Each structure stands twice: as C-alpha cells, then as structure tokens.
Structure 1
Amino acid sequence: MQPSILPAALCALLLLLINPAAAQFQFFEQMFNPGGGAPHAPQNAASDSSWFQAQYENALCDKYLCPHTLSCVHFPHHCPCAFPAVEDKVELGDGSMICVSKDGWKREGAAGKVELARKGLL
C-alpha cells in the first residue's frame, strides 16, 4: 500500500464505525423528544378568565349553553358536570342544577347533603 492511501482507508473505516452509532443516538433523541429541538416547559394557564370567555363567546349553540362545560343542551338542568368521576349532579327544583363533590360513602350522598342544606339542617 502506498503511504497516502493508508490514512484515507483508516479514515473511511473509522467513519463506517462511527456512523451507525450516531444514527442510534439520533433515534433515541427523536424517541424521547419527538417535537425536535430543545424540550419545552409546560405553560401555566392564564390567571384571568379571558381564554374561557373567548371559548364561551365562540361556542355555537342554538339551545342552552352550559356555562361550566360549554355543552349545548335543551334545558339548564340537562348540563353535565365537568368532572363526573368526582362530582354528582343534583337537579334543583327551579329547573337548574349544581355539581357537588361525591360523598364517597353513599351512592346518593351528595344529593342528600344538598337536600339537608336546603332544609337548613346541615
């Protein structure tokens, strides 16, 4: 071999060994950071109600728009609770409804507590 070809061959061999390793690291980088670039910290929600007001004003509803879930229903007492896993819906006698944190002990515990509160016993 000529002396000038030996360094070129070593460089080529070295590149062949390094290239797959670099591709492997790129794969893991894309897997753990799919958006590319530097990871972004999550942003806090705004401390005012402007975002919610904009959503409320832009919601399309030809019936009753529930103010806490932006659901479109026929009557106010048909509105769902925003967090049904932890809230019970209680329909009030005046055609409205409220969402109350679930009791945890009784199936209808929240509704019972609302009824006791309406009677002034709680």
Structure 2
Amino acid sequence: MRLILSLILALAGSAAAQFQFFEQFFQGGQQAQASTQEKQNVPSDSSWYRQNWEGATCSNYLCPDTLACVHFPHHCPCPHQDVEDKVELGEGIAVCASKGGYKAGEAARKIELARKALI
C-alpha cells in the first residue's frame, strides 16, 4: 500500500513539474513575443530626440537630422547615406534626396534638371 501511495505521489509531483515547465515555457514565449513587439512599435514622442539634442555638445553647428557637429550647415551628413545622396545647391544649402536610377549621381542630375525647369 505504501508503495502504491509513494508511486502516486511521485507521479503527481512529476505531472506538476511538467505543467510548471510548460507554463513557464509558453509564458516565456509570450513575454519574448511581447518584447519583440515593443521593439517594433516606437511611440510618437520626441522626448528621446529632445533629450539627445539638449545633451549634445557642439561648438559649431549641430545638424538637426543626425545630431552631427559640423562647421557649416551644408556639411551635415545625410541620415540614411545608404539610400540617399547629398546634393549641394549652392550658397551653403544642401539637401538629401533618395538615390534614383541605377547610375551614381542620378539624384544630383535630376535635381539640377529640376532647377533648370527641364523636368
């Protein structure tokens, strides 16, 4: 009788441990999924940007898009250099434009054509 009772208690303990394992396993998966979703959803709050802007030290010009410290505003780098070309328009003015076409300098060429009212 003691043997059967011991066996039942051992099986019950084993079953409880299994359920606890699966509960932690699935809840852990939900927590990991929730943290992944949190990383994807950025709130529309500019406090992070303002905090970094106010904390930046720059004795010359602080670029508003990249927070880079440069000597002149037209020296600011493009924030997405892999997909943007920087085009200087003259008089210290520069713009970042999406790279266009398959040739290098295509964005600059199109901007120049637009300035001449040819496109």
- Pairing 1:57–2:51 present: no
Superposition CA RMSD, Å: 3.0
Using structure 1 for the length normalisation, give the TM-score: 0.69
Structure-2 residue corresponding to 1:46: 44
> Which of 24, 27, 39 lines up with 1:26 in the alignment?
24
The alignment-based identity, stated in percent, is 44
Structure-1 residue corresponding to 2:11: 13
Higher helix proportion, which one?
Answer: 2
- Pairing 1:102–2:99 present: yes
Using structure 2 for the length normalisation, give the TM-score: 0.71
> Which of 67, 70, 73 lines up with 1:73 in the alignment?
70
* Letter in structure 2 aligned against 1:68: D
Which consecutive unaligned segments of at least 5 residues does structure 1 have?
A: none
CA–CA separation in structure 2 for the residues paired with 1:103 and 1:115? 13
SS at match of 1:90: strand
SS at match of 2:86: strand
CA–CA separation in structure 1 for the residues paired with 2:42 and 2:32? 22
- More deviation in 21-30 or 7-16? 21-30
Aligned length: 116
